Amino acid sequence: MLLIDCPYCGPRSEIEFRCGGESHVQRPGPHDAASDEQWADYLFYRHNPKGEHRERWLHMAGCGQWFNVARDTVTHKITAIYRMGETIDAGAGS
Ligand SMILES: [Zn+2]
């Protein structure tokens, strides 16, 4: 069981959260200039690394806020938690 340090509420059990998948996915644009391949990549393909992965998490049983987590997919160790709009350097250790 993970202990996730919500940047708004503090440490809480994993069962209060929902993972929203990969974070920092950039929408191609402008929309009329993006190719079908770029749209398919944006809509359907996500990275699945062995190691550090940046993810969006929702504190659904708490504050209801989305935030970012840098988590190792092998060990599940969380190395950084940061709010939406922050960079990993600004939010590391928070
Ligand atoms: Zn929270």
Q: 82 C-alpha to center of ligand 1: Å?
A: 12
Q: Which amino acid is at 64?
A: G
Total-model pTM: 0.84
Of 90 and 16, the structure prediction assigns the larger pLDDT to 16
Q: 92 C-alpha to center of ligand 1: Å?
A: 17
Q: 65 C-alpha to center of ligand 1: Å?
A: 6
What's the longest Cα–Cα distance across the chain?
A: 44
Backbone angles phi, psi at 52, to 5 degrees: -65, 135
- 29-80, pLDDT tens digit by residue? 898 899 999 999 999 999 999 999 999 999 999 999 999 999 999 999 999 9
Find the mean pLDDT for residues 83-89. Answer: 87
* Residue-level pLDDT at 78: 97
Q: 3 C-alpha to center of ligand 1: Å?
A: 12
**CA dist list (Å): 62 to 6, 12, 69:** 9, 9, 17
Q: Go through the domains of the chain in sequence order and give each one's CATH number.
A: 3-26+40-83 (3.30.2270.10)
